[in-house]
Structure 1
Amino acid sequence: MSGPPERLLRRLEWRLGRRLDGRLQGSYRTVWHGAGIDFTDLRAYTPEDDVRHIDWNVTARLDEPFVRQYTEDRELTAWLVVDKSASMRFGAHEGKDSVATELAVSLAKLVSQGGNRVGAILFDNAVQRVIPPRTGRDQILRIAQELLKPSPAAAKPARSGRPAATTDLSAMFHLAAKTTATRRSLIFLMSDFIGDPGWDRPLGMLTHRHEVVVIRIVDPAELDLPDLGLILVEDAETGEQLLVDTSDPLLRGRLAGQVDAREAELADAMRRAGVAAHRITTDQDLLSALVQMVRTAGQVRR
């Protein structure tokens, strides 16, 4: 396979190898485990170890902290669940969709090392694409190819007078649960979480069976509207258009209040689902965000 998927993977491979130098590959194995973990040995605790692996009985007996070492199930299956809805195309630096694509391919590359299988579920309201999990570089290229394909949601909304539907996040999570039902998996869920409410329950049900890493991708302009004067804005999900004066202090104050309310509502929904989302913005350095995400994953693991 050649073309954009190959070029994307080669670029990310170079960046991953140059910037991470093996640190992330070692880190994710101690945070995101496979379906089975076998105890193999004990060794003295070091500050880099996960405190959850301390053997307290041995520690009390020897008066020195010891940690358990495990051999992970070599048949770890990971899924990349990526929101491909219209709102994901918003943002600077080629948009949230571009960030999700690079992040998904990077994670696929990292997780696939050691023979782990990786699959993908690409979702929008019109079409859902499922790529069954497999191993190898060809599988990563296939996932990259599908991620780079234009989504049917990219088509203009119908002008029939009825607005297009917003993203059905509940349907995305139900699809993920149905697709991954046969085996406990590691699921990376990437979305901007702009869509219909009520998704916290199906997300919570997904986390009961699988280890779910939630990644919320946002653009800074969604959190703090820049002062650009009079502009025409369009809702990417519904196609509705509105002329707004972004320099109007009353409008800016009202929008800031709405952003605060939306952030609070999202945080509450995440808590109800029993997850803590990693937030990545379109202006962040992707690899630095990836390293930080892995380092903090153990603190929010269920």
Structure 2
Amino acid sequence: MSKKITFKKVNVPAMTVESWKEKIPAHVSQVEKAVISKDGATETTFRITFKKLESPGYITVTEDDVKFVHFCESSAKGSSCSHMALGSAIAGVFGVSIGKVGFPTEPVIFEIDDEKFEDVSNEVGVLPPVKTSAAPAPTAPTTSATAPTPTAPPTTSTKRNWKDGWNEVQDYLQDQGLNTRMILQVREMRQDFCDTVKMTTMAVEPKKPSFPYVGEMLQRAFRHILNGKDLILQGDKGSGKDTLVSTIAWVLGLPLYLQTGNSDETKESVVGENTIIQGPKGMEVEFVRVVPRQPVQQ
């Protein structure tokens, strides 16, 4: 630690610890662990990144004691706060109980190299943010006495980077109440779509809506999608159908194809319809999908 802190003994009730364990994913974005040996003794440090707190919290575990320290407005005034309950819950997941809590008046920094921390977020039900690759640094222009060599036009790659914008998507899904297991399934589907579904000139690029969909239909929609089912949305104008579709496309990284219609259109005329055909056992009903019309080439 960069500053000396006076710790006070605390005794968080077991019922409080258990009740806050379920709330960890809603308030914590990452938990990391570092094990350091000093003078023959082992000290374990957990670094907790809170979603709405700039500086992290730390749990230190030694043979003699378990301490928790963090900085927020309440702790600076010497008052208890939700971060203390979350720290106690995280400690409980790893089988220890916090004995002392520090109340610093300034942010606290533990002088431990980042390389020594390993991510243990999954053990507390938290999905950590993904690390995106940094953009290549621009190179200085070079001059040449000869004429520039013409280059071939850039080619369009099928694969798109699923990590671009994922952390914002993940925060949104957590805010909407999707559990860790479902979010992992959505992430896996997004990876697959970004690897295999190519953008075309007819497609609308998936991007975050100005106001993403909020409501219970989101979870129901993703449960159907993850089970391999199609969606047909029905509702009055302004009920949020377009917003839900745009939000799903943004989350999954799926290009949008828009089908225009009028009051005479039906869901069957847009996606397909049942028709009677002659099968090997007689007359059968078969579902025929509608093939989107291709634009006229000029």
Scaled to the shorter chain, the TM-score interval is under 0.3
Higher helix share: 1
What is the TM-score normalised by the length of structure 1? 0.24
Tell me which structure has the larger Cα radius of gyration. 2
Structure number with higher relative contact order (C-alpha < 8 Å, ≥ 6 residues apart): 1
